[in-house]
Amino acid sequence: MGILRYDHPDIMEFITSKDSENSVLRNFNISVGLDDTFFEKLDKEGYIELKNPHNEKIIRRIKASALWDTLVNQAWKTGDPGMIFLDEINKKNTVKNLGDIEAIGMEA
């Protein structure tokens, strides 16, 4: 499974990566990591700053609703992406001393 945070500069391409029947990700599960901040911005019709994960430089801004609409439409159309609720996962993190959980592994 591949997981990408909603504020990554490549998020829109990631969300639509399974749009084509010829996609190399056709048999690969993808999910978007979301947090409470995303839903607050969505609720207030705000913007998300897409940041370079290496230096936190803002690459561009997009409306939270545009990302949400694309995400849910693609999930309906292709079955992906899933949604990973990072804040909820970290509330129940039993190894907080190791840091925040940023991704999960799917067990067969």
User: Could you identify the residue written with the tokens 């409306």?
Assistant: 63
- pLDDT tens digits, residue range 42-85? 999 999 999 999 999 999 999 999 999 999 999 999 999 999 99
Let me know if 38 is exposed, middle or buried by CB neighbors in 10 A (0-12, 13-18, 19+).
buried
Quick one: CA dihedral 64, 9, 71, 105, positive or negative?
Answer: negative
* Inter-CA distances, 58 with 7, 22, 42, 71, 86, Å: 10, 32, 19, 21, 21
Domain-wise residue ranges, the chain: 2-20+28-96
* DSSP 3-state of 83: strand
| Average pLDDT of the chain to the nearest whole number | 91
**pTM for this model (two decimals):** 0.86
What pLDDT is recorded for position 8? Answer: 98
Encode 63-87: b = buried (16+ Cβ within 10 Å), e = exposed. Answer: ebeebbebbeebbeebebbeebebe
Indicate if the pLDDT at residue 86 is higher than 90: no
Predicted local distance difference test score (pLDDT) of residue 98: 82
Phi, psi (deg, nearest 5) at residue 43: -65, -35
User: For residue 107, what pLDDT band results from cuts at 50, 70 and 90?
Assistant: low
| Distance from C-alpha of 89 to C-alpha of 102, rounded to nearest angstrom | 9
